[in-house]
Structure 1
Amino acid sequence: MDWEDRLDEWELDLELNATLEGSEWVTLEKAAEETGVSRAALRTWYRTEQIPSRLVDGPHGPQRLVPLAMVAERAEASPRLRKTAERRLADEAQLELLRHRVDQLELRLADLERRLNPPEDR
């Protein structure tokens, strides 16, 4: 890659960042990361015109952007996605309870070990 190609790529990166900065339009990857919606679902949504999208020049060619607020709103309206999020939260809560139980058991075990093996006075 020569300097001219690298400079052109860098300028495209700057233009893309300027386009996205202060804007609610984000890449599919960012929308999926922020909302938990798969990229396949996002593609279906913009192809069936459930959400708008637009193409912009990106560092590696055309890049699809979607409005993050509309994706979040559409995801919230989806019973399937809501159940997935609720299940994930329930799993996290259960994991936290289990961590607490393990901590309590470790404290009890340490207490029992101290009682069974008292320190020797010299």
Structure 2
Amino acid sequence: MSPSGVVREWVRRFNAADVEGLAALYAEDCVNHQVVTEPLYGREAIASLFRREFARATMVCEVEQILEDGEWAVMEWRDPLGLRGCGFFRVRDGRIVFQRGYFDQLSFFRQQGLPVPEHYLG
């Protein structure tokens, strides 16, 4: 599957809150770095993140565009509440080996009605 095809499948599984299906798209030794947190290493760490996040928030990814270049796919996205972001996915042999995401986590907390950690407030 092409990098953009993997990302489209990632969106489908994300919107279904399919944690195991999402985890299966990642290589065993992958890295996921959402820049608002420390990087996660390995498929199980990423699955744990998805379990936790889907349990506490309603998340929907609406694709604005996906661009592909070699092993990379870049997705610009939004959600129905107005949050926007982008993700960079490096794909090898049909598996995500590296992902980096950019979004405003403070807005995410507020939109989802989640408590804002003290360190965000200064």
TM over 0.5: no
Structure 2 length-normalised TM: 0.30
Q: Which has the higher contact order (CA 8 A, sep 6+)?
A: 2
Structure 1 length-normalised TM: 0.30
The structure whose residues are more often strand, as a share, is 2
Whose radius of gyration is greater, 1 or 2?
Answer: 1
